[in-house]
Chain A
Amino acid sequence: MDLLPFLLTQCLNALSQAALLFFLGVGLTLIFGIMRIVNFAHGTFYMLGAFIGYSSARVTGSFWAGLVIGPLIAGAIGAAFEMGLLRRLYRRDASAFLMVTFGLTLVLGEIIRLIWGVDALQLEVPEVFSGIVFLFDEPFPTYRLFLAGAGVVVAVGIWQFLERTRLGLLIRATSQNAEMVHALGVDVNLVRTAIFGIGCGLAALGGVLAAPLVTASLGMAGNAIIDAFVIVIIGGMGSFLGSLLAAVLVAFVQVFGTYYFPDFALAAMYMLMLLVLVIRPGGLLGKEA
């Protein structure tokens, strides 16, 4: 393989991976920014998305139905969880959230096992994107191009949502100063519910999109949550742009690191995280030191 096609292939690989990491990290970071809680169950929502996506696609015969239904249901469950339980805990310290979301991880994980069983399930790549394109004679899956594109679209979408819509404004305001927003007569609880639901929905979106690459399986959650943490930590907790930057950075480090130093594939991500934190304790774009 010549250098140029090699670099192009690897960069596109990294971008498609960055998109998946971004979906995973951005929800967690938004939730943290608003609610100051570490959502332990984030990886489980990612997994839930994949399983619901699988079933919806099977019933309707369309991947796209799964892509819509998965995040919607997962987001609704997330919002309901916030309304039912988390809402009662805002006066308590962060450890309460840690425990309650840890509990949710176990409960949700077991429910998924009871419904879908233990075997991994295959979600087919949608027909339109099942082909390949040739980059200088090297075949490259169009689905990966689609993933990278979806990453850009979602990133721009979230950015516009935060900048242009009223709810986005409230979300930004709440992350700055929740009491002030409350004093202005806005129902802060509603903002929190919305953001928790959106965050979980984004994780589920990532889950559905990842399923054709990794199959829907019970191992998904544990793998995903630590990735999500790393993205959020490197990017800076609560920073939307930071999570985007971190996702791209981690993906490139992983793809090229694995190529040149395969023995350090596992450690690369953590070394990067440590390096960033030592230089900037709050993460790349984080506020707090």
Chain B
Amino acid sequence: MRAVVCAAIVLAIAPFGLPLFAMTLLTEALILGLLAMSLDLMVGYTRLISFGHAAAYGLGAYTSGYLLLHTSLPLPFAVLAASALAGAVAIGVAWVCTLATGISFSMLTLAFAQLLYAVAFKWTSVTGASDGLAGIPRRAGPFGITMFQTKDGYYYLVLFCLLGAYAFCRSLVRSPFGAVLRGIRENEAKTLSLGYNTRLYKIAVVAVSFALGGLAGALYSPFAGFANTDLLFWLFSGQVLIMVIVGGQGTLHGPILGAAFFMLLEHVLSLYTESWALFFGLIFIGFVMFAPEGIWGLLTRRVRA
């Protein structure tokens, strides 16, 4: 717990010490961290391996982008509305996907996400098709609050959402609800025989996960001022899954680190060499071979040693 508090404090004072563009990167890293953490609820705690988490991010990003461009809704409300929509859509998606288990579940999530991708490509009036939505504003308000329009202000909004979501997830996984999720992860048949309707629990966790993933997406589009179909593409789903695994699944904070690591590594490498993909790939392979427990596992292992 103290580690988390310290991390929160460091992050809170970061704008005072970091140059402008580092804040841009850090903001994006935190947004991705939120996304990865939301996926961890499904992957790490319930063993629902989703290959379509980009759907949550994309839904959030497009919804908040659309609301900010076409309505006068203040930014925080647009973000919350987008998150709620992602959660609501997830109930329908999860209802279908949980008909299957294991790898078939993963494939269904992939199919849904790709279908959404195809829809986004054709629904020009809402999504802007291949152009995406550009020039998404950070509208002021409510009550004339302009804080989120500044760079640091927006960073604090993101940080607040991340910390809030973290606290929520943490209490969730420690609650009786979380115990059932872990039961499903370890042995679904047994949990079912204990009288729990495991499918309802799974639908619930997918909805929560999508709502938080949608929140991340909803924060992204006003941050970048932009949303396009790449955010819904299956490749991005794969990358988020990898962020979770690299960070350490089933820990909540691991995936946040994983997301930051993934993004910053890609970024720093691409500054130095056009062949960044080569080194990025090699580092990944190295990670799998030598650090199977992920970044968080690596850190804690060294502490214990």
Residues of chain A at the chain B interface (Cβ within 8 Å): 40, 85, 88-89, 92, 94-96, 98-100, 102-111, 113-114, 222, 226, 229, 233, 237, 263-264, 266-267, 270-271, 273-274, 277-278, 281-283, 286, 288-289
Q: How far is the CB of B220 from chain A (nearest CB, A)?
A: 22
What is the chain A residue whose CB lies nearest that of B285? A103
For the residues of B in contact with A, the DSSP-based class is helix
What is the chain A residue whose CB lies nearest that of B121? A266
CB pair B288–A107 under 8 Å, yes or no, is: no
CB pair B285–A104 under 8 Å, yes or no, is: yes
CB pair B285–A267 under 8 Å, yes or no, is: no
Which residues of B91-122 have CB atoms within 8 Å of chain A's CB atoms?
Answer: 96, 99-104, 107-108, 110-112, 114-115, 117-119, 121-122
Take A99-B242, A277-B100, A277-B107 as given contacts and tell me if A226 and B234 are in contact as well, using a CB distance cutoff of 8 Å.
yes
Interface assignment of B268: CB less than 8 Å from any CB of chain A: no
Interface assignment of B245: CB less than 8 Å from any CB of chain A: yes
CB pair A266–B118 under 8 Å, yes or no, is: yes
Name 14 extra pairs, CB < 8 A, besides A95-B241, A103-B283, A277-B111.
Answer: A96-B292, A98-B238, A99-B288, A104-B281, A106-B277, A266-B118, A267-B115, A267-B122, A270-B114, A270-B117, A271-B115, A278-B99, A281-B104, A289-B104
What is the chain A residue whose CB lies nearest that of B273? A110
CB pair A233–B278 under 8 Å, yes or no, is: no
CB pair A105–B281 under 8 Å, yes or no, is: yes
Interface assignment of B282: CB less than 8 Å from any CB of chain A: yes
- Per the CB 8 Å criterion, the residue count for chain B at the interface is 41
Q: How far is the CB of B44 from chain A (nearest CB, A)?
A: 10
CB pair A107–B285 under 8 Å, yes or no, is: yes
Take A98-B238, A99-B246 as given contacts and tell me if A110 and B100 are in contact as well, using a CB distance cutoff of 8 Å.
no
* Interface hub of A109, A267, A270 (most chain B Cβ within 10 A): A270
Interface assignment of B154: CB less than 8 Å from any CB of chain A: no
Instruction: Kindly list chain A residues whose C-beta atoms are within 8 Å of the C-beta of B287.
Output: 99
Instruction: Kindly list chain A residues whose C-beta atoms are within 8 Å of the C-beta of B22.
Output: none
CB pair B100–A289 under 8 Å, yes or no, is: yes
Interface assignment of B275: CB less than 8 Å from any CB of chain A: yes
CB pair A288–B103 under 8 Å, yes or no, is: yes
Q: How far is the CB of B189 from chain A (nearest CB, A)?
A: 14
Interface assignment of B280: CB less than 8 Å from any CB of chain A: yes
* Alpha-carbon distance A226/B112, docked complex (angstroms): 13
Q: How far is the CB of A58 from chain B (nearest CB, A)?
A: 24
* Alpha-carbon distance A263/B129, docked complex (angstroms): 13
CB pair A106–B280 under 8 Å, yes or no, is: yes
Instruction: Kindly list chain A residues whose C-beta atoms are within 8 Å of the C-beta of B111.
Output: 233, 270, 273-274, 277
Take A110-B277, A277-B100, A277-B104 as given contacts and tell me if A96 and B288 are in contact as well, using a CB distance cutoff of 8 Å.
yes
Q: How far is the CB of B213 from chain A (nearest CB, A)?
A: 18
CB pair B118–A100 under 8 Å, yes or no, is: no
